Structure 1
Amino acid sequence: MLDPRAQTLLKTLIERYIAEGQPVGSRTLSKFSGLELSPATIRNVMSDLEELGLVSSPHTSAGRVPTPRAYRLFVDTMLTVQPLSDDEQVKQNVQQRLTPAEPTKLVAAAASVLSNLSQFAGVVLTPRRSHVFKQIEFMRLSEKRILLIIVTPEGDVQNRIMATQREYTPAQLIEASNYINSNFAGLSFDEVRRRLRSEIDQLRGDMTVLMQQAVAASTDESDPGETVLISGERNLLEVADLSSDMARLRKLFDVFDQRTSLLQLLDVSSHAQGVQIFIGGESNLVPIEEMSVVTAPYEVDGKIVGTLGVIGPTRMAYQRVIPIVDITARLLSNALSQH
């Protein structure tokens, strides 16, 4: 526990470091903290904070910078997130961009919005592809090639190309899709497969074969399931904290290339309510000490289906980024729920 004086000085140091990006000295703390303290007293408090692992002294300066532990204390106990001064403008901006018709395009647009508003990288964990279908349609491409169109309950449209052993007429394909939609809509393809096995004698042979091929095509193992969409990662090249060290920069872009740790991080945050903040150096989920991730889950009809967020430096203006992430998650949820 910090006494009020130490807490005020640490909060001031973090706010000045976020604003200016330079180590903060005693004179600056005296000026901005509002405390009537001598430089010697401030130096003593800074020394205590350094012993607690909350600040460190770069070799090149007498000033101090916050550690990941200090940022965690700051966002958990000192940060008061106010509505953005341009709150309505931000909402209108997000709403205008979240207008594409297809859910997949909405999700991609959300990543772009987060990047543009934060000037860092926007990231979205896309919903798992639904294995339940609302409607399917068969479209003949050639003699033995058929396009399978799957519409999920979320309104997502997925296309698969099927190679068949025999030729089907357009009338047969319409009949098959009508039968399947009236008898199996709302089920998962695994359930359809089980039903087919039990009802196989009651179904016409041609339709059974076609449906089995549709099930096989819809559950193709090459389907990636969840994916991570990233927009604006090049913005991070402009952030000196991340780009000044080539090894750090390489590690950062390794994260984007592999995406595995991002997927894990976003998956963890999808199980929580509201905005989550992950600060580098405090867990393996954020592999770079100078990097933070601010996330929030988004929903379809009240059910969490994915996560979105902003990736930036630990020295980010959290009081601005947090409401941007929160607003975008809420508006994306609304847009997806309307489909």
Structure 2
Amino acid sequence: MSLDLRAENVLKNLVETYIHDGQPVGSRTLSKLPQLGVSSATVRNVMADLEELGLITSPHTSAGRIPTVQGYRLFVDSMVRANLPTQEAISQLTDRFEGESDPEKLIAHASDVLSDLTQFAGMVVLPSQSLTRFHQLEFMRLSKSRVLAILVTEDGRVQNRVLSSAEGFSESELVQAANFFNHRYKGNTLQDVRRLLVEDMQTDNDEMHNINQSAIQAASQVIAEEEQSNQNDVVVSGEQKLLGVPDLCQIETLQKLFDAFKTKRDLLDLLDRSLKAEGVSVFIGEESGFSSLGECSVIASPYHVDGKVIGTLGVVGPTRMSYDSVISVVDITSKLLSQALSGSSQS
């Protein structure tokens, strides 16, 4: 939808005034803004046109108007210019990531800082197992029948598994199995590693036949357990801050919203949509497709390791939010988390 310059200016200033004040905006209020420079009657006529287009509405019988979801959408798509965070905010962001190499702690820091800087709920989706790539596997004998398996993924996460086996493995067999695994499957997703391993075991592969099959089965077990134990999950911080948002103060609204935080299913589905997006995605109110988020906006962005998208992060807040500021915070946080995770995967 395109508007002429006057209508665009009226809508832009109406949305910005409503976001700032939280009260329906009347034509007289807008006409006093020096950046518009038109009479109250002119503003009133333009507002009538905007209402007919479904971009603004009246919440009650007063003369004030508020933006609809469609009005917010046009505002975000055409009129918002992301503001750079303050130097204080940038320092707060960089301080959280500086000197940290543990991927799980980095993800928790990202969720916390998103909430702290926006005063809404911050979220980070853990890397999807369909995207997580295998980097390295090592074995260490603990006893005759117990082996410690150390799995490293390309996003820098390290997982340990203790494997029990009735058949004892020699050190050379464990080294041989690990070397084969690392050489053949490095860089593949965990899902692909499992598939390729099955295919390799079914084919007449001399290299595979020369390796202790029980050791290879042990390696396969580690991959399978890692997939099962780390299904997509989302780290949420600061959801309690939404209790103080006037726009969300209705008991029914809060109950639906906190149910969404508890089950996480709707949040995961919504954030997954932004995985393939370039840059920041904005879902406003009913655009999410979930009634639990009907009074909220979700601003999300993918994050990367070495240029590969592995997850998403974002903010949940009311539809009446400072989109320019929140978009900037989400954008810079995704870049800083990507940079920190890429560094940790190489350390």
Query: TM-score w.r.t. structure 1 length?
Result: 0.88
User: Contact between 1:82 and 1:319, CA under 8 Å: does it hold in 2?
Assistant: yes
| Residue type at the aligned position of 2:73 | R
SS at match of 1:236: helix
User: Contact between 2:257 and 2:293, CA under 8 Å: does it hold in 1?
Assistant: yes
SS at match of 1:137: strand
Distance in 1, Cα, partners of 2:201 & 2:38:
80
1:235 aligns to 2:241 (yes or no): yes
Distance in 2, Cα, partners of 1:68 & 1:149:
49
Structure 1 residue 270: deviation in Å? 1.0
2:91 is aligned to 92
2:181 is aligned, of 181, 184, 191, to 184
Structure 1 stretch displaced more, 112-121 or 123-132: 123-132
2:75 is aligned to 74
Distance in 1, Cα, partners of 2:257 & 2:286:
13
2:332 is aligned, of 327, 330, 335, to 327
**After superposition, what is the alpha-carbon deviation per residue over 1:117-168, rounded to whole angstroms, capped at 9, x for unaligned?**
1111111122124665333233456664443221123321112333323456
Judged with a 3 Å threshold, the aligned counterparts in structure 2 of structure 1 residues 115 and 141 are, in CA distance, closer, same or farther, namely farther
1:292 is aligned, of 281, 293, 297, to 297
User: Contact between 2:133 and 2:155, CA under 8 Å: does it hold in 1?
Assistant: no
Distance in 1, Cα, partners of 2:303 & 2:291:
21
1:279 is aligned to 284
Judged with a 3 Å threshold, the aligned counterparts in structure 2 of structure 1 residues 149 and 201 are, in CA distance, closer, same or farther, namely closer
1:337 is aligned, of 339, 342, 345, to 342
SS at match of 2:312: strand
Structure 1 stretch displaced more, 154-163 or 195-204: 195-204
2:190 is aligned to none
Distance in 1, Cα, partners of 2:273 & 2:80:
23
1:258 is aligned to 263
SS at match of 2:283: strand
Judged with a 3 Å threshold, the aligned counterparts in structure 2 of structure 1 residues 158 and 45 are, in CA distance, closer, same or farther, namely same
Structure 1 gap segments, 5+ residues each? none
User: Contact between 1:14 and 1:65, CA under 8 Å: does it hold in 2?
Assistant: yes
User: Contact between 2:281 and 2:301, CA under 8 Å: does it hold in 1?
Assistant: yes
Structure 1 residue 44: deviation in Å? 2.7
Distance in 2, Cα, partners of 1:270 & 1:202:
40
1:305 is aligned to 310
Structure 1 stretch displaced more, 301-310 or 26-35: 26-35
SS at match of 1:35: coil
Distance in 2, Cα, partners of 1:218 & 1:201:
18
SS at match of 1:34: coil
Judged with a 3 Å threshold, the aligned counterparts in structure 2 of structure 1 residues 162 and 15 are, in CA distance, closer, same or farther, namely same
| Residue type at the aligned position of 1:92 | S
| Equivalent runs, 1:68-147 vs 2, <5 Å | 68-84=69-85, 86=86, 88-99=87-98, 100-129=100-129, 132-139=133-140, 144-147=145-148
Distance in 1, Cα, partners of 2:316 & 2:88:
22
Judged with a 3 Å threshold, the aligned counterparts in structure 2 of structure 1 residues 33 and 271 are, in CA distance, closer, same or farther, namely farther
Judged with a 3 Å threshold, the aligned counterparts in structure 2 of structure 1 residues 69 and 9 are, in CA distance, closer, same or farther, namely same
Structure 1 residue 48: deviation in Å? 2.1
User: Contact between 1:12 and 1:33, CA under 8 Å: does it hold in 2?
Assistant: no
1:165 aligns to 2:156 (yes or no): no
Distance in 2, Cα, partners of 1:257 & 1:182:
42
Judged with a 3 Å threshold, the aligned counterparts in structure 2 of structure 1 residues 285 and 276 are, in CA distance, closer, same or farther, namely farther
| Residue type at the aligned position of 1:118 | T
SS at match of 2:17: helix
| Residue type at the aligned position of 2:179 | S
**After superposition, what is the alpha-carbon deviation per residue over 1:175-224, rounded to whole angstroms, capped at 9, x for unaligned?**
344222322205124434443454588446xx421331331242136334
Structure 2 gap segments, 5+ residues each? 186-192
User: Contact between 2:147 and 2:163, CA under 8 Å: does it hold in 1?
Assistant: yes
User: Contact between 1:189 and 1:215, CA under 8 Å: does it hold in 2?
Assistant: yes
Distance in 1, Cα, partners of 2:93 & 2:342:
16
Identical positions, percent: 46
| Residue type at the aligned position of 1:213 | A
User: Contact between 1:137 and 1:149, CA under 8 Å: does it hold in 2?
Assistant: yes
SS at match of 1:269: coil
Structure 1 residue 23: deviation in Å? 1.3
| Residue type at the aligned position of 1:180 | A
SS at match of 2:151: strand
Judged with a 3 Å threshold, the aligned counterparts in structure 2 of structure 1 residues 292 and 286 are, in CA distance, closer, same or farther, namely farther
Structure 1 residue 35: deviation in Å? 3.1
Distance in 2, Cα, partners of 1:248 & 1:313:
11
Structure 1 stretch displaced more, 66-75 or 247-256: 247-256
